[in-house]
Amino acid sequence: MDRAEIERKLIEIVRSEKQIPDDQLTPETVLAEAGIDSLDALTILFAIEEQFGISIPDDKARSMKTFGDMIDVVAALRD
């Protein structure tokens, strides 16, 4: 699975939890500024782990501040 596929799946996951317009969900998007609060983030995190069959360590989860960070973490754990 390449980075573009990971990004597409993550967009689906995030949008299933939070309605975010297309132009507001880019790798540069700061999750908090997009309206994703800590509860949303936790729900999204569990969905990511289930979808990709990975376990995201707490320190990596806390380091995800932007949508791009989320892509990076998932891509690194999938390798």
What is the DSSP-derived secondary structure letter of residue 28?
T
pLDDT for 10 equals: 96
Contact 26, 11 (CB under 8 A): no
Q: How many whole angstroms separate alpha carbon 56 and alpha carbon 48?
A: 9
Domain locations along the chain: 3-78
* CATH entry 3.90.105.10 includes domain 3-78: no
Contacts of 69 (CB under 8 A, 6+ apart): 63
Judged by DSSP in three states, 30 sits in strand
The model carries a pTM of 0.91
In this predicted model, what pLDDT tens digit does every residue of 15-68 receive, in sequence order? 999 998 878 899 999 999 999 999 999 999 999 999 999 999 999 999 999 999
pLDDT for 33 equals: 93
pLDDT for 45 equals: 96
